[in-house]
A = this chain, B = another copy of it.
Amino acid sequence: MTTEDLVQQIRKKKTFLCIGLDTDLEKIPPHLLEEEDPIFEFNKAIIDATHHLCVAYKPNIAFYEAYGINGWKSLERTIEYLNKNYPEQFTIADAKRGDIGNTSARYAKAFFEDLNFDSITIAPYMGKDSVEPFLSFKNKHTILLALTSNIGAFDFQTKKIDGKELYKEVLAISKSYHGSQNLMYVVGATKAEYLTEIRKIIPESFLLVPGVGAQGGSLQEVCKYGITSDVGLLVNSSRGIIYASTAMDFANAAKEKANDLQGQMQKELESRNLL
């Protein structure tokens, strides 16, 4: 999917919501455990109920890998279902991979070609040759971790390198990578005021923003400091939506939560004449 297609979907649906599919057998409604593939059945129900309220889905790969081969099958079925039934959705493999060149090339093939995700999250620690293999795929997007929303972000990401925080160095240096037009960045919502500084370095790039809701970030603040003329934001919510209820009507409860967020996002877009 091109970035233009993503922007068009955002304007059409009046939402920049991304729904995180952190699907956990211990948290899904118990009645689904009788199904042959409970993870897929859960995802399918959530997707069918919420697709008109969001523009992206983000399976967290760890949750699937934790179930071994069965988990991997559920992941394959989920991305196939999305690509077949809702091809307008931007799909994100939240994998946080990053390795030397030939290994990164393997991951790129696995997620972009075999599974056919539109994008993948990548850790920057190993630098240029660990990221560029992902950037060489046309109309595929690499979402680099810059400033994450967890407490450990302060261990290294906000430390200063020659007077500039590491996460800013990641933003600045990655712009010089071959294929950098395919970069997006993870920026945690718990530090919305950092977005002013971030936008000085990457004024137009799309940001994937976790941490709104459960992790305490504010949608209003994120928009105030981070929105661009092409919106430039994907705001993720996982647990707050998908685990809204464990009753039989869990999908409907998820829809209501997603609908709330879509409504808030529409207001933010309308108030800035971005639709």
Measured CB to CB, the residues of A under 8 A from B are: 22, 60, 62-63, 65-69, 72-73, 76, 96-101, 103-104, 106-107, 109-110, 114-115, 123-131, 145, 148-157, 159-162, 166, 169-170, 173
Contact = CB atoms under 8 A, between A and B. Distances in A.
Q: How many copies does the complex hold?
A: 2
Contacts of A73: 69
A150 B68 contact: no
B66 A76 contact: no
A118 B154 CA distance: 29
A273 B162 CA distance: 44
A149 B106 contact: no
Name, among A101, A129, A150, the residue most crowded by chain B CB atoms within 10 Å (CB to CB).
A150
6 contacts: A63-B106, A69-B69, A69-B72, A129-B151, A156-B170, A161-B161
A110 B166 CA distance: 31
Contact of A125 (B62, B109, B156): B156
Nearest to A161: B159
A145 B126 CA distance: 9
Given A145-B126, A152-B129, A114 B160 contact: no
A66 B106 contact: yes
A150 B60 CA distance: 27
A166 B63 CA distance: 30
Contacts of A173: 155-156
A103 B63 contact: yes
A160 B162 contact: yes
Contacts of A150: 100-101, 126-127, 129-130
A63 B110 CA distance: 9
Nearest to A128: B152
Nearest to A211: B100
Contact of A100 (B97, B99, B130, B148): B148
A65 to B, nearest CB: 5
Contacts of A100: 148-150, 152
B110 A68 contact: yes
Contact of A65 (B67, B110, B161): B110
